[in-house]
Amino acid sequence: MDGYIPLETGRRRTLKAAIGCVGIGLHSGRRVALTLRPAASGTGILFRRTDIGIEIPALFDQVVDTRLCTALGASEAPEHRIGTVEHVMAALAGCGVDDAIIELDGPEVPILDGSAAPFVFLIDCAGLTAQAGFGPAEAIEVLRPVRVQEGSGPDAAWAELAPSGGERLEASLTIDFPTTAIGRQSLSLRLTPHAFRAALADARTFTLAEDIARLRGAGLAQGGSLDNAVVVDGPLVLNPGGLRRPDEFVRHKLLDVVGDLALAGAPLRGRFGGHRSGHALNNRLLHALFADPANWRPVPGHMAEGAAARLPAAAAPAVA
């Protein structure tokens, strides 16, 4: 058993109770308290910074930075940010949470152990409940292939979404690093709560030892350590416990994809494919998807009342 209890189908899911943790921001190095709270049906996922009194919806068009993480900014004040949202977003999406409020008293989601597993643990401890008296949870169906790319030739990085005909996101990713300990790795899966927990949730973020000084000089990775990231030096993994899985690197990159695509505002029904894709390309892919209404549609009978209003303006379906 993985702790996931299926709930009544056709209902949105939120947390049964509030639950929190305290940790360090990977890039800011600041101590941050985080609380996951239940939310009313149709809220979606909403970030709330209690220290400065702002709320930011977890949507792709709120992304203001993709350097080594995905950061959201307030529309009226982009400098008011919430960084490293991808792991908690992946946990919520992977566990099937439709509505939740994420409260923080600082500028970055705590990194914890560098994976989504601690957030899955919090969700399991709080429990899930189906929202009473509301329509089915909405989904976004991909109707046409959409692709974004950086570079050209065999070394090009790219990401794409295509129709699948299924009711879950299907995802396939390949990474390719010159560092011996990582190399070329590939992984494909169908995103169900069980698959997310079993295959992706515990995969940790990683970095190269040679990059640490440069990152810290740029004001990044101030809270990084062997407790919250895998550090690779050539053929060596420097963490005393080694890797959790031989292909932990591609698993974590696919975990990031799940978190970044959760910023679509609703579960995607389609097939994701990527080669050397990261936060920037993942976000560009959502912008490309929603740039043309012919690329997507709300699944008939699955767009709950009021849900379209919280999709980004570029993504809101036309009303006749």
pLDDT, one tens digit per residue, over 187-236 is: 999 999 999 999 999 999 999 998 888 888 877 778 889 999 999 999 99
Please work out, in degrees rounded to the nearest 5, the angle formed at the alpha carbon of residue 68 by the alpha carbons of 87 and 287. Answer: 80
The pLDDT value recorded for residue 272 is 98
C-alpha–C-alpha distance, residues 160 and 3, integer Å? 32
pLDDT, one tens digit per residue, over 252-282 is: 999 999 999 999 999 999 999 999 999 999 9
For 159, counting Cβ atoms within 10 Å of its Cβ (0-12 exposed, 13-18 middle, 19+ buried), the class is buried
pLDDT, one tens digit per residue, over 115-149 is: 999 999 999 999 999 986 454 458 999 999 999 99
Share of the chain above pLDDT 70, in %: 88
pLDDT band at 8 (very low <50, low <70, confident <90, very high): low
The pLDDT value recorded for residue 304 is 41
The pLDDT value recorded for residue 301 is 45
- Are 173 and 186 within 8 A, CB to CB? yes
The pLDDT value recorded for residue 17 is 98
Helix axes 279-290, 248-261, angle to 10 degrees: 30
- Are 138 and 303 within 8 A, CB to CB? yes
Q: Domains for the chain: give ranges and CATH numbers.
A: 13-130 (3.30.230.20), 140-302 (3.30.1700.10)
Query: Residue 300 pLDDT > 90, yes or no?
Result: no
pLDDT, one tens digit per residue, over 61-94 is: 999 999 889 999 988 887 899 999 999 999 999 9
pLDDT band at 311 (very low <50, low <70, confident <90, very high): low
CB atoms within 10 A of CB 17: 11
Average confidence (pLDDT) over 151-174 = 93
The pLDDT value recorded for residue 10 is 61
Q: Which of 150-159, 233-242, 256-265 has the lowest mean pLDDT?
A: 150-159
CB atoms within 10 A of CB 136: 15
- Name the CA dihedral angle for 190, 69, 122, 124, rounded to a multiple of 10 degrees: -10
Task: Choose among 138, 314, 159, 175: nearest CA to 253.
Answer: 175
From 27, 80, 279, 302, active-site residue: 279
First-residue to last-residue Cα distance in the chain: 46
Task: Choose among 118, 163, 171, 166: nearest CA to 144.
Answer: 163
The pLDDT value recorded for residue 28 is 87
- Catalytic residue at 87? no
Query: Residue 44 pLDDT > 60, yes or no?
Result: yes
Please work out, in degrees rounded to the nearest 5, the angle formed at the alpha carbon of residue 48 by the alpha carbons of 47 and 49. Answer: 125
Average pLDDT in the chain = 89
